[in-house]
Amino acid sequence: MGELIDGQILRALRERHNWDQSALARHAEVDQSVISRLENGRQSDVKLSVVVALAHALGVRIDTLVISSTPPAEEKPLLAGELGAVIDVISSLSQSHQRQVAAILRGYLSAMPE
């Protein structure tokens, strides 16, 4: 399963940069048709690498684009702040390094017991 992106937020951020979909596609190295489907609600589920690329191109944190599925505040894990700091660090890396980190994390998480 991939990440769920909020298409309205994606469109608003793209427009804030005064970019059309093709410009964002070039900056993020993502196919323009994916951006169109996301913004128009025809697709919301994408690979983490696409989320990372879009966030990097738009200059925002990854969690800005992702639809939140976090539990209510009273149920949030204590590490939530720590994870936010890690996301900030990853977001500041180059696209290539972000992809490497994502691959490492996927490998690590897939090896963990349920």
Which pLDDT score is estimated for 25? Answer: 96
Region of 47 please: left (phi>0), alpha (psi -120 to 50) or beta: beta
Q: How far apart are CA 69 and CA 84, in angstroms?
A: 15
CATH of domain 1-68+76-114: 1.10.260.40
- What is the residue-level pLDDT of the chain in tens, covering all 114 positions? 466 888 889 999 999 999 999 999 999 999 999 999 999 989 888 888 898 899 999 999 888 888 765 555 555 555 656 777 778 788 888 888 888 888 888 777 777 666
Task: Name the E strands within 1-111.
Answer: 3-4, 45-46
Which pLDDT score is estimated for 110? Answer: 75
Whether the model pTM is above 0.95: no
User: What residues does each domain of the chain span?
Assistant: 1-68+76-114
Please return the burial class of 112, using the count of CB atoms within 10 Å of its CB with bins 0-12, 13-18 and 19+: exposed
